[in-house]
Structure 1
């Protein structure tokens, strides 16, 4: 597959007359796409959702947000290893993606001076082996499926030698960006079949944002993963101009469920630097999500609408005329696990830090005493 990193190589952008502006954005926040993915764009439509997803916009240079909006640095225990929740470790094993989503929450990884990713993951694997509480490992980055099959097989093979690692997850948008990475590599499929066993499955956390990404080759790639033992789920953020329409999101969820790749999480977009044009307020996001899941199958209704806050994964449960109801689905501090929180409704609020608690006891900044708390059972 041919990948394009030079905006000037795209005829439609040269013809539009704003190439110089887009190149300034691309110099700050990298641009990359497969030729196949650019071919999905209707260039006659400036608001085309695939275009919004992959082509730079001038508004990305607006002053807003932080490059590490969730303070991942605080849970980085060694180069390329994040350990935020007791049973889960993230290995940042690749610093390249098949395309750079404009709303990416880790766009800092693709900047020239960033060295967070550790392609030599062996220290991370030793760390996992030495922590028996870790049952779940997520390979991420960057996109692990852009690594060579030999390299990926080495990592997964080593993880399979660690008895307490039960689940291996791979976060990837390659089924959308370049389905032939899967379709044209029988060794990759054989590796999945070998290591995704009846008792210890490999999960691919796919990343489809819009129904138009579910092309015939993408569907075939998903089918091949399933046929070779992989369990599929989909997770994506809610993004203005791409999937913040309940009809669009509902169609995406419905089709994914039919394909055997049901939705897992819908993420509130992180307040990451450069992402101002893609933000959707919490209240409108919840309303969009609620309507979307009721357009889908029962499988689609298992999805959760969450924000990955510095303090944990917070589920947005409900909104009424005056309040917003939240719960810690996962928490960095185990004492907060299951904590139920009530905030004053604010239709302009985008992130937890923008909300005012109904009572100080509901705000984690005021300690752990809460009037409302659920049992801290298994997450």
Structure 2
């Protein structure tokens, strides 16, 4: 399991970063200040994908700090995760789904992370937490699936992953288990280089259906190394879904988005969602697109996609639920609750007369017609 040693060599200081990009002496202080608030940590694999001659390289934008992170407009918890936390590490927002925050560790700290508030904080991986969470799930028979996320759920120890799977597999009303992870994208070695880990997944995929939900955001990320990790998962009967985040400067050209979604299908990865970037402090100003612009990008991209690619839904993960962004009709933006915290709102459609450059919805925007 050489990946452990590789991970220890992550680039986490400005001095190490100089090996990958040019940093002017006058900019060094800004970089140092940024990473005190929002830590830097990236695998050498991922940084090697950067074109050092291109200051707007998409891999660079997603992995290297930017002065725009000083902008604190927005919120740290845009989806109400605090409100939905039932106990340490367990959220229950949607009727049938339990979400387990298994770790604060990540293979890489993405600059657009919507849990930026948690990056670099103390970790709380404990067996007692797992037992308490499973007891909650057993007591709530409406829960038929569990999402194990973080941080990055594939960066916890193998014995903890096995404990999660062993305990959840015993719950009769759980139909499938998902792992949220970006390791196939930023640290594929963690998957294909660990036979013990793959053996655990294989064992429990015979007991419960296991899905991996990852996040490829740009065609440059679909490397041979990344595909080696995807093949390792496919070979043990794991289905891989992808959630893309729409990011300014990264994938906000229709051709780029279409190329990405089409390539995912070609490689056996199922496009699942395109998400509107959340208005997170340190993220909003750099990465978010106005909703009208975002819809245009997605709809133009769909014209270049085949049927399997455009099964994706364009959504925002809002405090009130997962809201599908349908498009413009008679001058107003149309929305539909794909999932709702209040189950009575599921499937409801509403329209909003957006302000210029509006990129998110307030709760006051959501009004249903009589």
Q: TM-score with structure 2 length normalisation?
A: 0.93
User: Unaligned 5+ residue runs, structure 1?
Assistant: 363-369, 372-379
Deviations 1:152-195 (A, max 9, x none): 11111111011111110001100011111111111222222211
Please give the alpha-carbon distance, in whole angstroms, between the structure 2 residues aligned to 1:280 and 1:179. 29
User: What's the offset of the Cα at 1:245?
Assistant: 1.1
- The alignment status of 1:240 with 2:248, answered yes or no, reads yes
Bigger drift between 256-265 and 184-193 goes to 184-193
| Partner residue, 1:8 | 15
User: What's the offset of the Cα at 1:201?
Assistant: 1.1
- The alignment status of 1:216 with 2:215, answered yes or no, reads no
User: What's the offset of the Cα at 1:13?
Assistant: 4.5
CA contact (8 A) 1:80 1:118 kept: no
Please give the alpha-carbon distance, in whole angstroms, between the structure 1 residues aligned to 2:362 and 2:105. 31
- The alignment status of 1:324 with 2:333, answered yes or no, reads yes
Please give the alpha-carbon distance, in whole angstroms, between the structure 2 residues aligned to 1:330 and 1:60. 31
- Superposed counterparts of 1:1-379, under 5 Å: 1=6, 2-11=9-18, 12-13=20-21, 15-17=23-25, 18-112=27-121, 120-197=129-206, 200-275=208-283, 276-320=285-329, 322-353=331-362, 361-362=367-368, 370-371=369-370
CA contact (8 A) 1:282 1:347 kept: no
Please give the alpha-carbon distance, in whole angstroms, between the structure 2 residues aligned to 1:297 and 1:195. 34
Q: How many residues align?
A: 359
User: What's the offset of the Cα at 1:320?
Assistant: 3.8
Please give the alpha-carbon distance, in whole angstroms, between the structure 2 residues aligned to 1:77 and 1:161. 21
User: Unaligned 5+ residue runs, structure 2?
Assistant: 1-5
Please give the alpha-carbon distance, in whole angstroms, between the structure 2 residues aligned to 1:40 and 1:246. 22
- SS of residue paired to 1:121: helix
Please give the alpha-carbon distance, in whole angstroms, between the structure 1 residues aligned to 2:303 and 2:107. 32
- SS of residue paired to 1:73: coil
Alpha-carbon spacing, 1:294–1:190, altered in 2? closer, same or farther (3 Å): farther
| Partner residue, 1:377 | none
Please give the alpha-carbon distance, in whole angstroms, between the structure 2 residues aligned to 1:64 and 1:187. 44
Q: TM-score with structure 1 length normalisation?
A: 0.90
Please give the alpha-carbon distance, in whole angstroms, between the structure 2 residues aligned to 1:280 and 1:354. 19
Deviations 1:243-289 (A, max 9, x none): 11111111110110011112101111111111111111111111111
User: Cα RMSD over matched residues?
Assistant: 1.8
Using CA pairs under 8 Å that are at least 6 residues apart, name the structure with larger relative contact order, 1 or 2.
Answer: 2
Please give the alpha-carbon distance, in whole angstroms, between the structure 2 residues aligned to 1:118 and 1:328. 35
Deviations 1:291-337 (A, max 9, x none): 22232221111100000110000000111461100010100011111
